[in-house]
Amino acid sequence: MAEVRPNDIETGTVRQATVGARKLADTMPRLILEARRVASTVIHGLHGRRRAGPGENFWQYRRFMSGEPAQNVDWRRSARDDHLYVREREWEASHTIWIWPDRSPSMTFTSPLSNDSKLERALVVAFALAEVLVQGGERVGVPGLTRPTASRNVIEKMAEAILHDPTERASLPPSFVPSPLSEIVVLSDLWAPIGEVRSTIAQLSATGAHGHVVQIVDPAEESFPYSGRIEFIEPEGAGSVTAGRAETWRNDYQAIVARHRAAIRAETDMRGWSFAIHRTDRPASELLLVLHSRMGDNAQPVVINSRHAPANAASAA
């Protein structure tokens, strides 16, 4: 067997990351179009609260009203017209929603049972949800990547930030301090160690922010349809394991995943967050409708079309 040098491993890792980035760049236009199509199926503006008031972000210009303090006049804008104008800012209590699409290596898994990878589904739902929320007057940001924005081209801003992100792609959102008025949506396969999942949810909810945790899974991660001699490779560097008769692992596998999901559900229940399971062989609009209806709501956890007891994927073995 040839000797494997550390530099060879590093070079291979860089090459794999580069190929993955190029592939994502090639598919991004299709994902954006799909997100817009999915977003169009949802009724806009059901919970928007955008209005003038104290804040930092510019909203609109309006006519100066008699009796207002003269310092309210925006003289630069007024100089272009025959009227006086006031520069209004967006009400700071407007909803801010942070959306985290997991882009770690395990999200690229696709089985023959689905046409979309978990990564593609997470991005489509993230983009579509952002489009719907902005149409409703809310602000949307990606933790560690983009500031909250109510821009009409929010999808393009998110896509550009994702494509040009040079950092390591973690499964869970980075540590940050959301405001109590904000909401957080985590779109991930959630195959990170349960301790990390619990810690992330606890940290993000510490300020009182409400959240929605969605586990996106491939159908094969539910049914474990493997038999015979199979080598399972962990995509995030934990090695591989070979099963002589994979079908004999099915029950144990599903039991382990059931416990993992139960632990996540218990954590979200305790924090007042929602929990959902979404399979990539189901329509993206299905998940979008559920998430949109739950924005600003303290609803109880929900499982979306999980046909099997909690089970997980080929990459989990």
| pLDDT of 43 strictly over 70 | no
Closest among 145, 159, 158, 190 to 172, alpha carbons compared: 190
Q: Residue 50: is its pLDDT beyond 60?
A: no
3-class secondary structure, 145: coil
Give the model's confidence band at 146: pLDDT under 50 very low, under 70 low, under 90 confident, else very high.
very high
The whole-angstrom separation of Cα 262 and Cα 259 is 5
- Provide the greatest CA pair distance for the chain: 86
The most confident of 19-23, 88-92, 93-97, 313-317, by mean pLDDT: 93-97
Domains and CATH numbers, the chain: 25-48+94-316 (3.40.50), 58-89 (no CATH)
Please say if the pLDDT value at position 175 is more than 60: yes
**High-pLDDT (> 90) share of the chain, %:** 45
Q: Is 131 within 8 Å of 125 (Cβ atoms)?
A: no
Does the pLDDT at position 15 exceed 50? no
Which has more pLDDT, 50 or 69? 69
pLDDT at 19: 53
- The confidence score (pLDDT) of residue 5 equals 41
